[in-house]
Amino acid sequence: MSKKEKKTLYLSFSKMLGIEVDNKRIFGLDFLRAFAIFCVVHAHGKHLLDDSCISFFSEVPLPHGVDIFFVISGFLIGSSFFSYASKNGRVDIAKVMRFYGRTTLRILPNYLFIMAVYYILVRTEIVNGNIDEFPLWRFITFTQNIFTPFYGFYWESWSLSVQWWFYIIFPLLLFMFSGKIDVKKVTPYICLFFIISSFVFRIMVSGHASDGFWWDVWIRKTAASRFDNIYIGVMAAWVRCYTPNIWKSHPTVCLIVGILLMIVTFVVPRHSGTFYTNVIFLSIAPIAIAMWLPYLTNIKSSRTLIGKTLSYFSILSYAMFLTNLMVIQIIDKNYPEFFRQIGASGYFIYWILVIIASYFLYIVIEKQFVKIRDKVI
C-alpha cells in the first residue's frame, strides 16, 4: 500500500470515528497525554489484577498522571500567552476574555454532565457517595477544595479545580501587570509566588496529614497545595519562548536527567509526617516532567499506527479522565465477585468500558461544544 493510500485510509477511519487529529498537534505532547491518561486509568483499576497471572503489573511504579496533565496545561497556556505577547510584551483584555470563553466551552460541558450523572448514580445508590456534606454548588463553582479538602463525591474533580483557578488567575495577572511590566519580566515572579505559596500551604496543613488518607486529601488534592505543579509548566514555556538557545541546547540530556529525577520519587521512601513527604515530594515529579519537554516537543508527528492511536487517546484523555473512576466505582460496588473470578480479563474489560464511555462523552458532549466554540469565539 502506498503512502498516499495509507493516508487516505487513515483519514477515512478518522472521519468514521469522529476523531480528527489536527496537523498542528505536536506528537510528543500527544504521547505524553496518552501516557498520563494510561497512568490515571491504570492506577484506579489496577486492583482488578490482584490474584491474576499478571498481578506483578499492578506493582510497576508509574508517575501520577495528574502531575503530567498539570505540567502540560501550564506549558501550553503559558506558550499561548507568551506567543501572543511576543510582539509588544503585553496581554490585552480581548485576549484574556477570548481565552476565558474558549476554555469554558472546552471544560465545563463535560465536567457538569459527569457531575449530573454522578449525582444520579449516588441518589440511586448505584455508586457510593456523600452529597449532603459537600453541596453541589461547591463543585459547580470549583470551590470544593481550594483551601480545604473534600471526599466522598466526584473525586476526580479535585484536579480540575486546580486547573480552573489557574485558567482564571494566570491570564488575569498577565493582563494586570503587563500594562506596567513586560510579560517576559513579570512571569517568573508570578510563577515564583505560586510555587512558594504551595510550599508554604503544605507546611501549614502538614499537621492534618496524619495518615495516607488525610495526606491524600489535604496535601495531594487541595488546590492551594498543587498550584506549583502548573506554574512549573509555565516556567518551562517561558524558557522555551524567551531563552530558545537554552531550550534547544541539550534536549536528550534533559530527558535523561528528568527520567532519573522521576525514579527518585519511586525509590526514596516516603514516611508519614516527614518534611520530604509533606512538602518536597509533590514538586519533584513536575520538575522531572518539565525536563522531558525539550525532547518531546521536538517530535512533531508520527506516521505509525501506534503513533496515530496514541494521538486518538490524547484527544480522548479529558473524557477518559472524567469517566474512568465512575466505571471502576460501578464495578467495585455492583460486580466485585464477578470481576474477582475472571481475573486479568476484568482489568481489560474495565479498560474497554472506559474507552466506550469516554468515546460517548467526547462525541455527544465535548466535540459538539468545541464546534460551537470554534464558530462563535
What's the pLDDT score for residue 237? 98
Q: Is the pLDDT reported for residue 2 higher than 70?
A: no
Residues 6+ apart with CB under 8 A from 206: 219, 273, 278, 279
| pLDDT tens, position by position, 176-187 | 998 788 999 999
For the whole model, what pTM was predicted?
0.94
Question: At 170, is the pLDDT very low, low, confident or very high (cuts 50, 70, 90)?
Answer: very high
Domain positions in the chain are 30-53+61-376
Question: At 277, is the pLDDT very low, low, confident or very high (cuts 50, 70, 90)?
Answer: very high
What's the pLDDT score for residue 149? 93
CA 368 to each of CA 20, 71, 375: distance values in angstroms, whole numbers, following the listed order: 13, 27, 11
Q: Is the pLDDT reported for residue 16 higher than 60?
A: no
Residue type, 254: C
